[in-house]
Amino acid sequence: MDLHKTQILLEKSQHQILESIAEEEKRSISEIVREMIERELRYRQRRQMAFAARELQLDYATDPELLEFTSLDSDDFFFEDESL
């Protein structure tokens, strides 16, 4: 893991809570904060992907060029393996 030193300022209550968590879990405050940041970053990434999916869904529902493909949705496709 390639770590970069970063300084942040916390409210006193935030630091106390992090200190308490770190003590209970026998981990460093830095480790706890990195874990929390990672969780928030994953959440934001999922939220961005969901937003992008909704935007695409709107495009697929309204774009005439894309609507042409909806007729294929109910077609059955068969693959004939000529080597059999």
pLDDT of residue 69: 65
The C-alpha atoms of residue 32 and residue 36 are separated, in whole angstroms, by: 6
Nearest to 32 by CA among 45, 20, 43, 44: 20
Give tens-digit pLDDT for 8-65: 999 999 999 999 999 999 999 999 999 999 999 999 999 999 998 888 888 777 777 7
Q: pTM value?
A: 0.64
Structure tokens at 70: 């909806």
The pLDDT of residue 71 = 63
Q: What is the pLDDT of residue 78?
A: 58
| Whether the predicted pLDDT of 83 surpasses 90 | no
Q: How far apart are CA 63 and CA 70, in angstroms?
A: 11
pLDDT exceeds cutoff 80 at 68:
no
Q: Where are the domains of the chain?
A: 20-72
